[in-house]
Amino acid sequence: MKLLALKVLIGFHSKFTSRSDKRECHGIGLQWLSVAVAVIVATLFDISPASAQPVVLPPVKGQFDYQLGGAYNPAKSVAIVVRDRLKPAVTGKYNICYVNTYQTQPDEGKWWASKHPDLLVRKDGKFVVDKQWNEYLLDTSTDAKRAALMAIIGPWLDRCATDGFKGIDADNLDSWTRSKGVLTMADNVAFAKLLVKRAHAAGLAVAQKNASDLISNGPSKIGFDFAIVEECQVWKECDTYTAAYGGLVYEIEYNDNTKDSDGKAIDPLAIFNAACSARGDKISIIYRDRALVPSTSPDYVYKQCK
C-alpha cells in the first residue's frame, strides 16, 4: 500500500513539474510542491528529519567560553565553546550551538512579524515582547503551532550538526513566565520534547537552559542531556541543577549583578568567588560581562574558577 502511494506521489510530482506551462510552478510554488511530497513520503515511511547519530556529551568540568556577543579565538585551555548558530564551530573544541528556540532574535523580529505573525504570542491583539532583549515570544500554545515552529527551527538544529556543533543551547525555555499568561509551562515542555527529539536524531546533545522549575522533568521526561545555567548563585538554585545533572552543569555568573534574590546588595565578583568555593571543583563556572562581547572589546570580562 505504501509503495502504491509512493508511486502515485512521484507520478503526480513528475507530471506536474514537467508541464510546458510552468508559470505557476517556478520559484516558491515548485519548491512547496517538492517539500509537500517529501513530507508525505517521510510520514508514510517514518523517515526522521536527520539520520540518527550518536549523541556526544560535553566534557565534565571542561572550561567553557560563552561567545554569544561575537565570535573570537578561545584560549587553548578552553574545551567548550558556545556560539550563535550562524557562527562557525571551532576546530578541536566541543561546540555548542546557540539557538533562540522560544523567542525571536532582536534582528529577526521583523521577519517573524511579517512572515509568521500567527506564530508569535499576542495579548489583547498586541505582540508580547521580552522588553529586556526586545524579542517577540514564539507561540507554543497548540500542537499545530508547535509543529509549524518546528518546520522552521528544526532545520536550524540540523544545520548546527552539519556545521560541526555537538550540542544545543536552546534559549528562553522559561518564556511562559514572560507571556502575560498566554503560555503555560506545559506548552513549553511539549515544544522542548520536539526540540530534543529532533536534535538527538541529528546527534546533538541538548542543554536545559535555566528554568529550574523544570528540573524534575528536564533529564527524565524531556530528555535534556546537560544544563547551562545563568546566575544560579545569585538565585540560590545551583544545587538543584547539580542534583539533576551532576558534573554536566555549566554555570555563568555576570559582572553586573548588584542584588541577590532577596534584593540585598551584593558584590558580583564576591558572588562568583562564592560559587567557585561551593562547587568549582565539581563543575565548570565562569564570570562574564552581560553582553558577552568579544575578547577584543574594552568591556570584555572573563574569569574561570582557579
- Tell me the per-residue pLDDT of 163-202, one tens digit each, with 9 for 90 and over: 999 999 999 999 999 999 999 999 999 999 999 999 999 9
162 and 268 both lie in a single domain: yes
170 and 244 both lie in a single domain: yes
23 and 109 both lie in a single domain: no
216 in a structural domain: yes
- Tell me the per-residue pLDDT of 146-163, one tens digit each, with 9 for 90 and over: 999 999 999 999 999 999
- Tell me the per-residue pLDDT of 70-98, one tens digit each, with 9 for 90 and over: 999 999 999 999 999 999 999 999 999 99
58 in a structural domain: no
According to DSSP, residue 219 is labeled I
Average pLDDT over residues 128-136: 96
214 in a structural domain: yes
∠ CA 51-54-58, nearest 5°, is 130
Instruction: Check which CATH number belongs to the domain holding 267 and give it.
Output: 3.20.20.70
232 and 279 both lie in a single domain: yes
289 and 144 both lie in a single domain: yes
Average pLDDT over residues 236-242: 97
Read off the pTM.
0.84
166 in a structural domain: yes
pLDDT of residue 250: 98
30 and 120 both lie in a single domain: no
pLDDT at 102 over 60: yes
Helices (H), the chain: 2-17, 28-44, 109-115, 143-162, 185-201, 232-235, 238-245, 268-279
Whether 210 and 250 have beta carbons less than 8 Å apart is answered as no
CA dihedral 239→244→249→251, nearest 10 degrees, is -40
pLDDT at 44 over 50: no
147 in a structural domain: yes
pLDDT of residue 183: 98
50 in a structural domain: no
Print the domain residue range for 23.
2-44
In DSSP notation, 55-101 reads: --PPPTT--EEE-TT---PPPTT--EEEEETTSPPPTTSEEEEEE--
pLDDT of residue 53: 83
Number of independent structural domains in the chain = 2
29 and 97 both lie in a single domain: no
177 and 247 both lie in a single domain: yes
Average pLDDT over residues 6-31: 36
Whether 89 and 165 have beta carbons less than 8 Å apart is answered as yes
The grid coordinates of residue 284 equal: 565548570
- Tell me the per-residue pLDDT of 256-288, one tens digit each, with 9 for 90 and over: 999 998 999 999 999 999 999 999 999 999 999
161 and 22 both lie in a single domain: no
pLDDT band at residue 51, thresholds of 50, 70 and 90?
low
pLDDT at 55 over 60: yes
The grid coordinates of residue 240 equal: 538543584
∠ CA 175-181-186, nearest 5°, is 60
130 in a structural domain: yes
pLDDT band at residue 25, thresholds of 50, 70 and 90?
very low
123 and 28 both lie in a single domain: no
Average pLDDT over residues 18-44: 36
pLDDT at 296 over 90: yes
Whether 263 and 76 have beta carbons less than 8 Å apart is answered as no
pLDDT of residue 61: 97
269 and 123 both lie in a single domain: yes
Interatomic CA distance for residues 129 and 247, integer angstroms: 35
pLDDT of residue 154: 98
68 and 38 both lie in a single domain: no
pLDDT at 13 over 80: no
56 in a structural domain: no
pLDDT band at residue 3, thresholds of 50, 70 and 90?
very low
